[in-house]
Structure 1
Amino acid sequence: METHERRITVDNLEILYKLFGNLDENLMRIENAFKVKLASRDGEIIIIGEDQTVHVVEKLIEVLMGAIKAGEVLDAQKLDYFITMFREGEGDKLPGLSDAILVVTSKGKFVKPKTLGQQKYVKAIQKYDVTFGIGPAGTGKTYLAVAMAVKAFKNDEVSRIVITRPAVEAGESLGFLPGDLQMKVDPYLRPLYDALYDILGTETYLKYKERGLIEVAPLAYMRGRTLDNSFIILDEAQNTTIEQMKMFLTRFGFGSKVVVNGDVTQIDLPFGKKSGLVHAAEVLRSVEEISMVEFTDRDVVRHSLVRRIIQEYDKFEKRQQYKEIAKQEDKLESKAKKNRQKQDGHNTGRR
């Protein structure tokens, strides 16, 4: 097997250190993923391996250095995502991925899209009045929607933010919770509060809430309202009924934006009750003014193991579906065979 060598000149040793990572852990991840050999000598990165693979790794390293120069922190999750995209031939889409800063959190952290799916989602929210974000847990659907809402509010594009979700328990009964109505529904809304606290800071959020500029409420509170000049987010939409979804989608008025998020693999509705999110995706997919953004496990930005867990659940569910289809086909074939035998017996009797 013929090997080739390429060299990349690095004029900033700090970038080289950040690229290689602590104890060269990033270097080893790239080597293991592409079966190449990487080394650094005299301000150069040396890549040794098969010609085509070396070329891909060279492009990967150039993109990674560009991201580092732009202020990105090259953690394991981000590196794994970049490696995956280059291995799947989509690395040319990555340059400039995180150029756009949506908001700066209360702790000075920049909120940016981290994956191509997130970038598509953000652009859809900017362009369309109604956007559906459908995909697995950990893809940043809720957090990015809240970030876009805060951005629109701070830019005076909307006059208030309304965030809601259905109060449905995740497969367990919590019994009768103590306190007033707000205290009873707050546990269901906690993920939304967490995102708002992180982006705005607790004091700023409470100030806006007291002035009625930000509202976090269960979905039942939306009935009978018309919301003008608002940024409205429906989270955990997979747990809405068809009637609730229709009610929600007819609440927004002039100058408003709507974002609907959900994961159709985690529906907590009673057995036999169809999800309003699944139904809406079927009914509204042909409406050009509505954007449907679908996330995949590649867009998961939590621990790398979360992506693996989602993949394994998907594989299991597909196997179960195939088994069920095979079972139904066997039943149909058995029924057809019995009908043929019955017909043959009838024909023999007639003779």
Structure 2
Amino acid sequence: MSEQLTKSFQLENNDDAVIFGINDANLDLLAEKFQILIHPFGNQIDLKGAPDKINLVNNILRILLKLHHSGIQIGQADVISAIQMAQAGKLDYFSDLYNEILVRDANGKPIRVRNLGQRNYAKAILKNDITFGIGPAGTGKTYLAVVMAVAALKKGQVKKLILTRPAVEAGENLGFLPGDLKEKVDPYLRPIYDALYAILGTEHTNRLLERGVIEIAPLAYMRGRTLDEAFVLLDEAQNTTQEQMKMFLTRLGFGSKMVVNGDPTQIDLPRHSHSGLLQVNGLLRNLPHIGFIDFDASDVVRHPVVAEIIAAYDKNRSKE
């Protein structure tokens, strides 16, 4: 039988129990991920399991409690991030994620990066003229890119936000959908609308859309334009052809930034078409002023089961 360690973690007062989560959900998550036993007793919890796991969980709880005392509201996403960083041996950097507020949402709530992958992504966007975010769904690529775009707009660094994605999923059936062109393509742009509504609020977003400060359009609308003093986001870039990707990247104007996001495992292009995202991954990776950030399942910030699903698919793909 492997060595077992029992350690107690003590809270300072009843209010600190908020870090345990609703119905101790955060404790249950820690117990499951680290394969230990956790027994709460009022302001104290007992941890029992392998010594290395117990020490990690104790350190996670200590950091979460410190963040709570500094006024940061701890949610399950924070606990998941702490777990991921602890498993990667990077828990010492966890508190650093809370040092900077990227922007505040419509309700005044601060928006911060959730993990090291997101922090590297945000830094790359600030540093480079063009940044590629490549990786699976759930890593926050779209949301964080919109956050960075809104932050740049609020600081006066750009005059316009241009947010686009290809409507490849509609294919030849697009003409059979009801409504005008905007009504036909809007469903494919919904994730971008959702991010804007969450950050700016519905009314403010709609006002900026009406004034042309924010433009949300299918990729085809970018052809023939030069985009100056704009923050330009191309989402779902795995569904661009090589010709479309070249067209988009060469729209970059003075005083502008571009962010290109995509997941190479979710290409919906016809079989005879080649993804522009796959091509630039090898073609542009070492050019100056262009940054590439690669996300993986460990960067997923959604429900913990999502990361497990992605990892399972990746494992299955490697066997094929």
TM-score by length of 2: 0.90
The residue aligned with 1:289 is 289
Q: Number of residue pairs matched?
A: 319
The answer for the alignment partner of 1:349 in structure 2 is none
**Distance of aligned partners of 1:89 and 1:183 in 2 relative to their CA distance in 1, 3 Å threshold:** same
2:194 matches 1:194: yes
Distance 2:77 2:43 in 1: 27
Residue aligning to 2:228: 228
SS of the equivalent of 1:58 reads helix
The alpha-carbon deviation at position 45 of structure 1 amounts to 5.0
Please name the residue that 1:257 is paired with: 257
Q: Report SS of the residue matched to 2:179.
A: coil
Structure 2 unaligned residues grouped into runs of 5+: none
Name stretches of at least 5 consecutive residues in structure 1 with no aligned partner: 321-351
Report the counterpart of residue 62 of structure 1 in structure 2: 62
Which one is further off, 162-171 or 124-133? 162-171
Measure, in 2, the Cα distance between the counterparts of 1:139 and 1:23.
Answer: 27
CA distance change for structure 1 residues 203 and 223 in 2, over 3 Å: closer, same or farther?
A: same
Give, as a single letter, the amino acid of the residue that structure 2 aligns with 1:139: T
Residue 201 of structure 1, CA deviation: 1.7
Write out aligned runs for 1:1-351 (5 A). Answer: 3-4=4-5, 6-15=7-16, 17-38=17-38, 46-169=46-169, 173-320=173-320
* Cα shift readout 1:163-201 (whole Å, capped 9, x = no counterpart): 111121168945522333322322222221121122112
Residues 20-29 or 59-68, more deviating: 20-29
Q: Could you say what the CA RMSD is over the residues aligned between the two structures, in angstroms?
A: 2.4
Which segment drifts farther, 103-112 or 63-72?
63-72
Q: Which 10-residue stretch deviates more, 30-39 or 80-89? A: 30-39
- State the alpha-carbon separation in 1 of the partners of residues 50 and 169 from structure 2: 53
Instruction: Give the Cα separation in 1 of the matches to 2:87 and 2:301.
Output: 18
Looking at structure 1, the residues matched to 64 and 24 of structure 2 have their Cα atoms a distance apart, in angstroms, of 15
Q: Structure 1: how far apart are the matches of 2:23 and 2:189?
A: 41
Matches of 2:28 and 2:184, distance apart in 1: 50
Deviation at 1:144, TM superposition (A): 0.8
Distance 2:220 2:268 in 1: 17
Cα 1:49/1:230, change in 2 over 3 Å: same
SS of 1:97's partner is helix
CA distances 1:110-161 after superposition (whole Å, capped 9, x unpaired):
3221122111111111111111001111111111111111111011011111
- Specify whether residues 133 and 49 from structure 1 end up closer, same or farther in structure 2 by C-alpha distance, changes over 3 A only: same
Q: Which secondary structure state, in structure 2, belongs to the residue aligned with residue 169 of structure 1?
A: helix
CA deviations 1:294-331 (Å, max 9, x no partner) are 111122222222222212221222111xxxxxxxxxxx
Q: Separation in 2 of the partners of 1:29 and 1:111?
A: 23
Mapped partners of 1:54, 1:260: distance in 2: 41
User: Which residue is 1:330 aligned to?
Assistant: none
Measured after TM superposition, the shift of residue 9 of structure 1 is 4.8
Q: How far 1:77 moved relative to its partner? A: 4.2
The alignment's TM-score, normalised by the length of structure 1, stands at: 0.82
- Residues 59 and 276 of structure 1: CA distance in aligned 2, closer, same or farther (over 3 Å): same
CA contact (8 A) 1:70 1:99 kept: no
Deviation at 1:5, TM superposition (A): 5.0
**Change in 2 beyond 3 A, CA 1:209/1:76:** closer
Against the structure 1 CA distance between its residues 286 and 28, is the aligned structure 2 distance closer, same or farther, given a 3 Å change threshold?
A: same
Check conservation: 1:19, 1:26, Cα contact below 8 A: yes
After TM superposition, give the deviation of residue 226 of structure 1 in Å: 0.9
Deviation at 1:38, TM superposition (A): 4.3
Q: Distance in 2 between matches of 1:82 and 1:283?
A: 35
2:87 aligned partner, one-letter code:
R
Equivalent AA in structure 1 for residue 265 of structure 2: T
Q: Percent identity?
A: 50
Change (3 A) 1:42 1:136: closer
Q: Which string of whole-angstrom CA distances, capped at 9 and with x for unpartnered residues, describes residues 9-45 of structure 1?
A: 5334312x11223333333433344344545678555
How far residue 99 of structure 1 moved from its aligned partner, in angstroms, is 2.9
| Matched residue type, 2:84 | T
Write the distance in 2 (CA, Å) between the matches of 1:251 and 1:6: 59
Larger radius of gyration: 1
8 Å contact from structure 2 (residues 40, 46) kept in 1 = yes
Q: Deviations over 1:240-273 (max 9, x none)?
A: 1111111111111111111001111111111031
* SS of equivalent to 1:149: helix
